[in-house]
Amino acid sequence: MKFEPHASQEAEKINRQAGMQHGMQLVTDQNHWSSMGIETGRDLALMILTQTYSDTYKEIHGIRPRRQFNSPEDAQEALEQLYAYFDEEAEREEISAEEEVHDEDLLPDLPSREGMGRRFTESRDGYDRLRNTVRRVLSESIDPRIQKRLDALLNDPKYADVFIKIRDPGGDRYDAYYSQDDGELITQPVFGRVAFRKTNSERPTGPCDGAWEVFYSRASKGWGSLLYEVALELAGPDGLVPDRFSVSADAKSVWDKYETRGDVKVVRLDVIKNSRSWETEGLPSPEQVTPDRPEDDCEQMSAVNYGGIDGWQDVSLSRKYVKQNTSVLDALQGAGRLIGWQA
């Protein structure tokens, strides 16, 4: 996650992101926070997330939790689990309510149970607003796994001379790779390159809802994910998709993680019904999911390779992913370690 250096600055950021809509106005005096032992933006985020978890837990279970957290990441994960539990209970109540209505139609002389045990369903709108607020405040944060690699690049003396270069060779294509300060590709102390291009109906990929396709990736172990993040942010609202024909197991793990991240939007794509891949591989042509939306047709051979002709829709490689901020690009640019890109 990415936080401001001082608690007062983090408070100002939170006020901008969520305060106007939800009446939340945090004190922006650093002395105020220092008197409470809260010095940094990270400290403030941990306090807010911990209090939010405690309040939410009490509303759901009727008692305060004893649980404490060592980091904002831990608190956020616990809060997401609490929201997931709430969703499950609310859904169970809705199903139960439907069954009760059905029973009352069959047995009209029984007393109505309307309103009994409906605290989850009735509170759902409020919790949805709270959840959206928390996620919006954290939306500019960086996934912890990416943050760890970014911290190494920016703070470890071993990588002091490593930059990331964004190259635009034209033709709706970009390359992102580790370089020297002059933009030349390097292989030591770390190597990595990701290339991606715009999909369209003229290419074998299909239109893929206007996404950018990663068609080449190679990196030192553990260093590919940061370049993927750069590509994801550069793709912007168009979104990013994996290579449509073949993806390694290591690369697939990156896309699997995108599916679980709260800051990444997942968009389902359809299959190209008459793709040459099916004939080439001797496979039957799968049924389309949205035949009335040709714009989301996309080559799905990579997904079929992992999920089969009947299970390709369940594979992370079948979707496109959209990240709605440029937190990693901003961090790299702010540190003077990004070449070829301006906000």
Tell me, yes or no, whether 45 and 170 share the same domain: no
- 15, two tokens: 């006020």
Tell me, yes or no, whether 105 and 156 share the same domain: no
Tell me, yes or no, whether 326 and 205 share the same domain: yes
> DSSP 3-state assignment of 200?
strand
Pairwise CA distance, residues 258 & 263, whole Å: 9
Task: Specify whether the CB–CB gap between 201 and 207 falls below 8 A.
Answer: yes
Task: Specify whether the CB–CB gap between 217 and 194 falls below 8 A.
Answer: yes
List Cβ neighbours of 59 (8 Å cut-off, separation of 6 or more).
Answer: 123
pLDDT band at 103 (very low <50, low <70, confident <90, very high): very low
For residues 211-223, give the mean pLDDT: 95
Q: pTM surpassing 0.85? A: no
- 83, two tokens: 């929201």
Tell me, yes or no, whether 191 and 78 share the same domain: no
**Residue 168's closest CA among 339, 333, 26, 336?**
339
For residues 284-298, give the mean pLDDT: 90
Sign of CA dihedral 38, 40, 44, 45: negative
pLDDT for 114 equals: 40
Count other Cβ atoms within 10 Å, centred on residue 70. Answer: 8
Phi, psi of 195 (to 5 degrees): -120, 140
pLDDT for 49 equals: 86
pLDDT for 86 equals: 77
Tell me, yes or no, whether 12 and 122 share the same domain: yes
pLDDT for 107 equals: 44
For residues 299-314, give the mean pLDDT: 92
For residues 18-44, give the mean pLDDT: 75
What one-character DSSP code corresponds to residue 279?
H
Tell me, yes or no, whether 39 and 181 share the same domain: no
Tell me, yes or no, whether 136 and 61 share the same domain: yes
Is residue 25's pLDDT more than 80? Answer: no
Q: How many domains does the chain have?
A: 2
For residues 35-51, give the mean pLDDT: 86
Task: Pick the last residue of a domain from 124, 141, 158.
Answer: 141
Tell me, yes or no, whether 114 and 183 share the same domain: no
Tell me, yes or no, whether 79 and 228 share the same domain: no
Give residue for tokens 């998709």: 241
pLDDT in tens, 70-100: 888 888 888 888 878 877 776 776 656 555 4
pLDDT for 339 equals: 96
Pairwise CA distance, residues 135 & 137, whole Å: 5
pLDDT in tens, 106-123: 444 433 334 334 454 555
pLDDT in tens, 140-181: 567 778 888 998 999 899 999 999 999 998 889 999 999 999
Domain range holding 307? 144-339
Task: Pick the last residue of a domain from 141, 164, 185.
Answer: 141
pLDDT for 77 equals: 87
